[in-house]
Structure 1
């Protein structure tokens, strides 16, 4: 597989709202019609707390046609599980409703930062509201340090979730070991955890984030961003699976890498893969964890 880059779509410069000063991270695509795509993203305020907003772009011309002027959902109060930010995963449908999953950040001075998984109800007009009020999936005996970026797919009559979980903040090389795990649900609301899905390799791929999953020809493909503790910034990797629960790393076959220069020349991360028409696309971030906005690539050589 090979991704052909189509360029930077949106850089989030000079936004007037105080909650949307910088960054356009974790892009999430929703097709409004055959041409216009809404892209939700996480932007930051002056204290690096992230909230959600969106833009529209024309997938044929790659022109941004609308920039939403304010947050569609804002980070929470100091005592909430998303007090310091909202980093979005994907949207899925259950019992006729649409839900957006996110990682809620807590970053208090007295403790290490922590993530929990939250869920937003998506209204038909695109507005977002918290559902439930507390964390959708919080820390427990299985995942007792920090959680991140969830992705859910409905496969037949059941649902699978892939999400990040921290094993340790330092795996011996001053880099965390943050792995991707799997969970199962019959209704999209209640989940049974299955443990580690994607294997980590200390020193090569041990800090995973933002999985995005595509089922193609009865085969599961996953792209994610990762670091290996060798000082190199995020890259996008790939894993393959037959059943969605057990994965094999295929890092060299991700089909996309940093550019020689420009907005995505230092790092690439936070992929979002989606089908539209007869094509498969990837939204992704570049330098600075989304500080330079997001771009688009199209899949070739399937």
Structure 2
């Protein structure tokens, strides 16, 4: 396949006091009846805390912003809860007239830099407002998965089976004097999108001992085949070295559980210069009218904003 990059869409300029930097992990929802795409993302305030935001762009020209949200979708959690340091959207799903917004809750830690867990907020007014499902996470670490869970991709499949491909941290390792997480993508199922059955099934595993981060699955099912895009990186110097930093990978599956990596076919890479010349990460793929689009972050894990690409050949 081949993706044609179309350019940068948005980078915060500081016009909103609670949005000083970053437009991280873009999550796109095509709203056909309004000919628009709503893009949820995470921004950061002056203290570096992640807050959820969104904007609307034209379905005909996604670089044309038609509406900018003016206040955080959700507030930080109460002190001591799983999301008191950050709220980062990672997936939105429509079910029975409601929007389910799955998000990552952030805590700052001592022995390691941070801890994540999976949260949920629900909208009953077509996405105008969201309310947290609970003060606690849908799931956190447990005796089977002792570290943390992060970004999720949820798809409601045949027979109302809710499928979830999620980040699962498997260890922390000290690299160049800094504690670094290692994570890959596991699979879970649910009947209602709230209570999830996790059995430790790995959907995308590490390619080798140097690979350290596989994150932000985006899955589309078509003609019985599950297609997944995601980002992956190595352990060391991934923040500054293009050779070790995030790239976008691709995998396929016939059952939606076990995927075959085909990263060489992803059809997209870093640019020779500009906002995505160091890394490309956190893809979200969505079909819009007769086109397939990919929204993604570039340098700085979203510090340089997000843009999009269009699939031009399969």
Please, what TM-score do these two structures have when normalized by structure 2? 0.90
Equivalent of 1:216 in 222, 228, 244: 222
Are the counterparts in 1 of residues 20 and 43 from structure 2 also a CA contact under 8 Å?
Answer: yes
CA distance in 1, matches of 2:171, 2:270: 28
- The answer for the alignment partner of 2:256 in structure 1 is 244
CA distance in 1, matches of 2:190, 2:69: 34
Using the TM superposition, give the Cα deviation of residue 218 of structure 1 relative to its aligned residue in structure 2, in angstroms.
1.4
| Higher mean displacement: 290-299 or 107-116 | 107-116
Give the unaligned 5+ runs of structure 2.
Answer: 238-243
Please, what TM-score do these two structures have when normalized by structure 1? 0.93
- The answer for the alignment partner of 2:266 in structure 1 is 254
CA distance in 2, matches of 1:145, 1:288: 24
Is 1:29 equivalent to 2:32 in the alignment? no
- Say if 1:110 and 1:170 are closer, same or farther in 2 by CA, change over 3 A: closer
| Higher mean displacement: 217-226 or 188-197 | 188-197
Is 1:88 equivalent to 2:74 in the alignment? no
Are the counterparts in 2 of residues 88 and 100 from structure 1 also a CA contact under 8 Å?
Answer: yes
Equivalent of 1:263 in 271, 275, 283: 275
Instruction: Please give the secondary structure, in 2, of the residue aligned with 1:161.
Output: strand
Deviations 1:228-283 (A, max 9, x none): 22531111111211111111111211111111111111111111111111111111
- Say if 1:86 and 1:244 are closer, same or farther in 2 by CA, change over 3 A: same
- Say if 1:152 and 1:125 are closer, same or farther in 2 by CA, change over 3 A: closer
Q: How does 1:192-203 map to 2 (within 5 A)?
A: 192-195=197-200, 196-203=202-209
CA distance in 2, matches of 1:228, 1:70: 36
Instruction: Please give the secondary structure, in 1, of the residue aligned with 2:211.
Output: coil
Are the counterparts in 2 of residues 36 and 58 from structure 1 also a CA contact under 8 Å?
Answer: yes
Deviations 1:172-201 (A, max 9, x none): 897532011001112222221132111212
- Say if 1:34 and 1:297 are closer, same or farther in 2 by CA, change over 3 A: farther
Using the TM superposition, give the Cα deviation of residue 59 of structure 1 relative to its aligned residue in structure 2, in angstroms.
2.7
Equivalent of 2:232 in 211, 226, 233: 226
Q: How does 1:163-182 map to 2 (within 5 A)?
A: 163-170=166-173, 175-182=180-187
Using the TM superposition, give the Cα deviation of residue 113 of structure 1 relative to its aligned residue in structure 2, in angstroms.
1.3
Deviations 1:96-124 (A, max 9, x none): 42201011111134654111000011232
Give the unaligned 5+ runs of structure 1.
Answer: none
Are the counterparts in 1 of residues 59 and 288 from structure 2 also a CA contact under 8 Å?
Answer: no
**Root mean square deviation, CA, Å:** 1.9
Instruction: Please give the secondary structure, in 2, of the residue aligned with 1:176.
Output: strand
Using the TM superposition, give the Cα deviation of residue 150 of structure 1 relative to its aligned residue in structure 2, in angstroms.
0.8
- The answer for the alignment partner of 1:155 in structure 2 is 157
CA distance in 2, matches of 1:160, 1:35: 27
